[in-house]
Structure 1
């Protein structure tokens, strides 16, 4: 097997294990705070749960550009292993927490050292032949999505079987094994001497240089809007399902099904659209996917039954499957020489920003425009971004990639 295929296979497994491990705690976080960490009352538990859940994204947003800078200097694989082994240790330590503030601090540390996913994307993009990059990005994306979908499901089953604390230990072991696999099998060609002699830029200077390439801000905006559009209505979907379903019978099942079906179609579509992008170009796939995603948000606002909502969200996931892989392929294409990892680091921060801003904004705006209004707002923002992408990427296809 060619080395780039080995890298892709191992890092697909790594993406799956890391994302499954990160999302396993979602179903039982509030219960863990009450049963093991001594919190009482719904308000206190909800407040701590919100802070603890967001803490990971806040520090990740702040530190990803720094790790991207070091990746360009020292290589992608060292950053991959730093993040993987570091998160494994922190995850095990979460199982020993006795106070809510300890879990909060550990989540902040976890976000600070995180970066397995952007390092994986950067490494795969740098070792894969250009004619296969779309397929590789789509396949890698499907691993992370599969972990995100199955993580809460596995976590819920394990919580019933073994209790809460052992899940943190098991998750840490999974992350450790994924990192160990990467350490022995993943290979990267990295010229450390050339990187050491290259002119060093601060994070601020690196962002300025990347921003001068007109395509890159449009790609960052696409990443932010993908996460914003997905996360802003996420916490309100169970309420919408309850309203459409009209009864409490099987409500949890339908809420979970509606929440996960987008990830399911995303996982299926990502490798297919990635392979198609190798034939017709990532710019075209990105443009089509943005418009398609915008259109698919509209029927969600007017759904009258759970099944209509389910079908619209399944179709949305198909178009979302073409967004993230296309963005990653194009970041590699348009990033100046020696700055690809830094571009992926900033893009990861943008993703974290969408994860933070989306739920907060959705909660605030829902009081005025409702969840239906949030779906329409997401559609408008996606349409606006598709116009930006058309102006900066599709109309400039004949312009040389490197600036």
Structure 2
């Protein structure tokens, strides 16, 4: 097997475990806070702590990702990959020993601080994969993270009933440690430290300023933010929307979870396929089609008359969403100056965390103003605006440069 394929296989497994571990606590976090070891009893207090603890990871991840990107470009992507993997494994195991909500919040924030597996993995794949296979590799890598995000809560719920809450943290931490070991022994990176050390040692802010001068990168970062904003924003509102469509039923939580994860399921399947197609017809084209397609699929969701209609349109939307991140990652690599790849992917990852933080807050605010259906319509409008921006910065400028070259 070629080395880039070995790298891709191992990092797919790592992405799956990292995202699964970060989302596995969703079904039982509130229950864990009520357990004997922690002992919260007030429902309002439990709900508040659960939200703060879950968000804590994304707050620190948003702040620290650019720092790890800078160090990755200077000392190597594999080193940052292993730092993050082994670090998160230890933190995850320590969560099983928590005795207060403050312990869990602190550990989640530490987990976000040391995270960086995803941008390091994407950066490493981007420099080790042949250009003609870049879309396929990025799509496949994305499918691992999505699979973990979807199956993480499902596995967490099953394991909580089977073995209790604390063993889940020990098991997840052990699997993260195993994935990091596999990366240590199997993943290979071609990295010239002397050449990296000879480059100007820009600060995080100076590096961002340099990358922000590339308009293509700014529009791509906006795609990443809007994608996560659109996926996460309606999630807290989904049970209420399903209830409006389906009425009060015993299995309301199941239907809400199924509808919420539907886009992720089709996204997971479509991402490698659209990534492979982008290698043939171009990432810009796939990105533009996916943005417009995803925008159009928001509209029928806002006017759905039944849960089945909502589910169908969520599944169709996931197919378009599957073409976004692989195309974005491939294009970020193309437009990023040499030696700054990890910085660019880390900023892109920070935009993902920002979407995770802001999406539910803004979604709730918009819902109070326009109703739940208005969240879908406004998300659709934002995607259309972003598609126009992408066309102006990517497609138009490429066509202009191509015409200049012909002259």
Place the TM-score, normalised by the shorter chain, in its bin: over 0.9
**1:13 counterpart residue number:** 13
**2:272 counterpart residue number:** 271
Tell me if structure 2 keeps the 8 A contact 1:87–1:114: yes
After superposition, where does 1:3-402 map in structure 2 within 5 Å? 3-35=3-35, 36-398=37-399, 399=401
1:369: how far off? 1.0
1:249: how far off? 3.0
1:18: how far off? 1.2
Specify the SS of the correspondent of 2:371: helix
Give the distance between the partners of 1:163 and 1:136, measured in 2 at CA.
37
Give the distance between the partners of 2:125 and 2:94, measured in 1 at CA.
30
Superposition misfits of 4+ residues, deviation over 4 angstroms = none
1:97: how far off? 0.3
RMSD of equivalent CA atoms: 0.9
Specify the SS of the correspondent of 1:26: coil
1:214: how far off? 1.2
Tell me if structure 2 keeps the 8 A contact 1:27–1:152: yes
Give the distance between the partners of 1:16 and 1:169, measured in 2 at CA.
17
**1:2 counterpart residue number:** 2
1:256: how far off? 1.6
**2:405 counterpart residue number:** none
1:366: how far off? 1.2
1:17: how far off? 1.3
Deviation string, structure 1 residues 96-121 (Cα, Å, up to 9, x no partner): 00010010000000000001111110
Deviation string, structure 1 residues 345-378 (Cα, Å, up to 9, x no partner): 1111111111101111111221111110000010
Specify the SS of the correspondent of 2:337: coil
Tell me if structure 2 keeps the 8 A contact 1:18–1:174: no
Aligned length: 400
1:388: how far off? 0.1
Specify the SS of the correspondent of 1:137: helix
Deviation string, structure 1 residues 116-142 (Cα, Å, up to 9, x no partner): 111110100110000000000000000
The 10-residue stretch of structure 1 (14-23 or 84-93) with the greater mean CA deviation from structure 2: 14-23
Deviation string, structure 1 residues 278-317 (Cα, Å, up to 9, x no partner): 0111111111100000000001100010000000100110
1:181: how far off? 0.6
Specify the SS of the correspondent of 2:202: coil
Specify the SS of the correspondent of 2:191: coil
Tell me if structure 2 keeps the 8 A contact 1:135–1:272: yes
TM (normalized to structure 2)? 0.97
Give the distance between the partners of 1:261 and 1:92, measured in 2 at CA.
31
Q: Which runs of 5+ in 2 are unaligned?
A: 403-407
Give the distance between the partners of 2:24 and 2:251, measured in 1 at CA.
22
TM (normalized to structure 1)? 0.98
Specify the SS of the correspondent of 1:27: coil
